[in-house]
Amino acid sequence: MSLVVIGCNHRSAPLAVLERMTVAADDLPEALSGLAKAENLSEAVVLSTCNRLEVYVLAERFHGGYSDVRDFLARHSGLAPEEVTDELYSLHDAEAVRHLFSVAAGLDSAVVGEHEILGQVRSAWEAARAAGTAGSALNPLFRHALETGKRARTETAIGRGISSVSQAAAALASDCLGGLSGRAVLVVGAGEVAEGTLEALAGAGASDMAVANRTWDRAVALAERCRGRAVALSELEAELVSADLLVTTTGAQEIILEHAAVDAVAARRAGSELLIIDVAVPRDVDPGVRDLPGVTLLDMADLSAFAARGLDGRAREVERVRAIVDGEVRRYGDLTSARRMDPLIAALRGRADQIRDEELARHAARLQSLDPEQRAAVESLARGVVNKLLHEPTVRLKGAAGRARGDRLAEALRDLFDL
C-alpha cells in the first residue's frame, strides 16, 4: 500500500490546462465516488482550488494507482491521457506527506502564506469523509496537515502582509492604477474570495464598490456587509462602462464575460482604461480580451508573479515554516510507525490473555473451593502478572517504532509467540 498524491498546480501546468482539471464543489461527490471504485485505490481526497488540483489516494500499487488517477483526470478534463501525463506531478509516502503539509502551511501557494488554503484543505477532507472515501490512512494524514498549517501561522509571521489571493488582487490593482482612492470598483462573485477582495480593496482606499452575482440576494447581503451596492448580473456590461476596475471571482465552469461584450464596453468608454483582474479558475473572462485596446486583463498567472516579487522580505519566515514542516513530517512518521505497531501489540496481549484464561480454566476444579472474593483475587493476580510482564516489551516496541531496531523487535516477537 502506498500513500500517493497526483496533481498539477500553478507552477506545473499552464492555466488553460489547470482550469480544465478543476473539480467544482458540486461535482466532488461524484468524483470521489468514481475514484473509490477504481481497481487500485482504497481511499481518496480531492483538493481543487484556484491554484491546484490534487488527488490524494491510498493505492494498492503505485503504478496502478497512478494510472487510475490519471485516467480519472483525463475523463474529467476531456484531455487525452498522454496530455494529462505531461502536466502531472506525483509523490508517494513520506514525500506525499511533506507536500501536503507544505500546502497546508501555505508554502506551495501562488501567494505564499495565504490563509485560504487551510480552509480549502479542511473542506476537501470533510467532503471525502462525507463521501466515505477517507479512512484510516487519509483521516490522520489530513488531521495532522491542518495542525501543521495552524502551527505555521501561529508560530511564524508567514501569514502577515499579503497572505491571500484577495489581498494580492487588491495590491496588484492599486499598483497598476496608481492607487484606488476615487476609483470605481466592481467585484463579480459573492463567495469568500469576493468578500476578502472587497475588504482588501476598501482597506487600500476604494470607496465606490459594487457587487454583482448570479444570485441577487447574495449580492445584496455581501454589498451590505462591505458598504457597497449590489448590481444585477444582467447589468454587468452597463456597469463596466464607468468602472475603473473589475475583479472576477466566481466558481462558474464557463466564461461569463465574452470578448464581444468587453469589446462593446471598451467602445463606449471613450478611451478610458479598464483594468480586469480575473482570479477565477476556470477563468471568468475570455483570455482574448487581452488584445483589446484600452483594456488590461490580468489572471492568476500574473497574480502569482506579482506575489512572488514581494516574497523576498519574508524569506526568513519561509525558512521557519519549512523547519516546522520538517519536524511535523518526522513526528507524523513516528506516529504512523507506532500505529503500525498497535496490531502486533494487540496480538501479543491477546495471546497472553488467551494463555491466562486457559490456565484459569485448567485449574477451575481446584478453585471451586474458593469463595467469590477469593476467586476474584486469584483472577486479578493473574491479570496483574500478565500486564507487568508485557508492560516493558510494549514500551520498548512503541519507543523503537519507525527505526530498524523496532523492525527487528517486531519480527522477533512474531517468531517467538507465533503471532
Which residues are known to be catalytic?
A: 50
3-state DSSP assignment of residue 271: coil
Sequence-separated (6 or more) residues with CB below 8 Å from residue 269: 241, 294
Q: Give the Cα separation of 212 and 194 in Å (integer).
A: 10
Which residue is associated with the grid cell 502551527? 151
Residue closest to 302 by CA, chosen among 112, 158, 169: 169
Separation of alpha carbons 211 and 224, rounded Å? 10
Residues in the chain: 419
Q: For the CA atoms of the chain, what is the radius of gyration? A: 29
Backbone angles phi and psi of 27, in degrees to 5? -95, -5
- What would the grid cell of residue 163 be? 497572505
| Three-class DSSP category at 406 | helix
Q: How many CB atoms lie within 10 A of CB 120?
A: 20
What grid cell was written down for 371? 469463595
Instruction: Note whether 263 and 286 are within 8 A (CB).
Output: no
Q: Is 18 exposed, middle or buried (0-12, 13-18, 19+ CB in 10 A)?
A: buried
Taking the C-alpha atoms of residue 70 and residue 83, their distance in angstroms, rounded to an integer, is 10
Q: Which residues, listed in sequence order, are joined to residue 58 by a DSSP beta bridge?
A: 3, 43
**Burial state string for 187-212 with b = 16 or more CB within 10 A and e = fewer than 16:** bbbbeebbbbbbbbbbebebebbbbb
> In this structure, are residues 222 and 195 in contact, taking their beta carbons and an 8 Å threshold?
yes
State the amino acid at position 101 in one-letter form.
F
Tell me if residue 11 falls in helix, strand or coil.
Answer: coil
